[in-house]
Structures are given as C-alpha cells and as structure tokens.
C-alpha cells in the first residue's frame, strides 16, 4: 500500500495486465486528427447511404405483388366469413380446397370427402356427417379418418392464393375424443356453421 496515495500497488502499470507502458500511454492521449477530413469523405458516406436506400427500394418494389406460379388465385377473402370456412373448386384437387379463415390466419387444406365446416361452439372443423373432427391446424382430434393435408397459401391484396400442386403430408391423428358439436346439434335444430359447398 502506498501511504501517500492510498492505493494498492499489486503489479506494474503495464505489460500482460493490459496496460500501456507509461511512455505509450502519454503519446496515446496526444493522438488527434492532424487535419480536417476532406469533402471526399462526406461525399463517400452520402453515396453509400444513397446506395443502401436504392437497394432497399428496389427490394421492396420487386417483392410486392401477387405470388408467382405455381400459386394461383383461389377465392377473394371477402367471400369467406371471418369466422368460417369454405370449399372451393381448384384443379388438380378433385374434392377442392378447404379455405379456413376462423381462429387466426387463413389456412388451406385438401378438402376432405363431403367437405368440412367450422363450428364456433367447439372451435374445431367438423365433417357434415359428424364422423370426423379436426383442429384448426388440420390434425384429426376426434372421430375417424385422416388428418387434413395442408396446402401452401398466402393472402395478397384481399385474394387467397394457394399452391394446390404441393399438398403437405397429413399429420398423425391425435384422437383426444373431440366430438362434432355443430354437426350433431344441427340435426336437432342447433345454431352452427353449415357445411360449405363447392363454388
């Protein structure tokens, strides 16, 4: 301990501890720009900023627009109730495409035999016969049959676009015993979504 300064001297002020030697430390405090930066540096910075803005604008302009093939326009979004589903005829899918707007973003599936409807009471998709029940991700959660096969889709400018040429494999069923509330209650006069019809 240095009594005059009241500091602990545990080693040198330079070397492996990461400190500069005293002579270099004094010089480092004196390093300043010896002259002003020229106009060229300002122009170079402005040109670089302009180039970045131009590249961003080109990217945004080329990325906006309807999706390219194999996507095709399927149906206007306004034709689907905000809490509903509809089956639309789309080649090459013989049963059409099930477009679900209920419960979040638009999802599209290969339509099951007989179609399907969204049931607001259960928040699930149901076959009109009541024999199959799917969650909104297309996984079968009750009844019989397979899960739905998802079809890639995107919404652009109020129109649903889908790629029916590449349906994804069906997910493994997760039978949790869900029952078709709307399909069963509609047979006794209950209020539920009806099975969509092909258009």
CATH number of the domain residue 143 falls in: 2.102.10.10
In this structure, the answer to whether residues 97 and 137 fall within a common structural domain is yes
In this structure, the answer to whether residues 179 and 113 fall within a common structural domain is yes
Asked whether the predicted pLDDT for residue 152 surpasses 90, the reply is yes
pTM: 0.63
Asked whether the predicted pLDDT for residue 193 surpasses 60, the reply is no
In this structure, the answer to whether residues 79 and 164 fall within a common structural domain is yes
In this structure, the answer to whether residues 80 and 34 fall within a common structural domain is no
Residue 170 is predicted with a pLDDT of 93
Strands 153-156, 140-143: pairing is: unpaired
In this structure, the answer to whether residues 171 and 96 fall within a common structural domain is yes
In this structure, the answer to whether residues 87 and 59 fall within a common structural domain is no
Residue 190 is predicted with a pLDDT of 35
Asked if residue 17 is part of any domain, the answer here is no
The string of pLDDT tens digits covering residues 73-122 is 999 999 998 889 999 999 888 899 999 999 889 999 999 998 999 999 88
Nearest to 177 by CA among 122, 111, 115, 97: 122
Q: What is the mean pLDDT of residues 5-18?
A: 50
Please report the DSSP string for 23-43 in residue order.
HHHHHHTT---SSPPPHHHHH
In this structure, the answer to whether residues 81 and 140 fall within a common structural domain is yes
Q: Which residue range forms the structural domain that includes residue 81?
A: 72-186
Q: What is the mean pLDDT of residues 38-56?
A: 91
Contact of 130 with 143, CB cutoff 8 Å: yes
In this structure, the answer to whether residues 48 and 120 fall within a common structural domain is no
In this structure, the answer to whether residues 87 and 163 fall within a common structural domain is yes
Asked if residue 58 is part of any domain, the answer here is yes
């Amino acid at each position: 301990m240095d009594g005059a300064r009241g500091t602990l001297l545990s080693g040198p002020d330079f070397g492996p501890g990461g400190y500069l030697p005293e002579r270099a430390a004094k010089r480092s405090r004196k390093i300043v720009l010896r002259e002003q930066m020229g106009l060229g540096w300002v122009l170079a910075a402005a040109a670089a900023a302009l180039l970045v803005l131009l590249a961003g604008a080109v990217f945004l302009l080329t990325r906006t627009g309807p999706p390219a093939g194999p996507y095709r326009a399927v149906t206007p979004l306004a034709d689907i109730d905000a809490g509903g589903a509809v089956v639309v005829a789309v080649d090459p899918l013989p049963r059409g495409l099930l477009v679900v707007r209920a419960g979040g973003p638009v999802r599209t599936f290969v339509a099951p035999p007989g179609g399907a409807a969204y049931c607001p009471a259960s928040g699930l998709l149901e076959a009109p016969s009541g024999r199959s029940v799917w969650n909104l991700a297309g996984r079968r959660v009750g009844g019989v049959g397979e899960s739905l096969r998802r079809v890639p889709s995107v919404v652009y400018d109020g129109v649903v676009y889908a790629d029916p040429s590449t349906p994804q494999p069906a997910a493994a069923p997760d039978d949790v015993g869900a029952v078709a509330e709307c399909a069963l209650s509609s047979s006794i006069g209950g209020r539920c979504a009806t099975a969509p019809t092909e258009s």
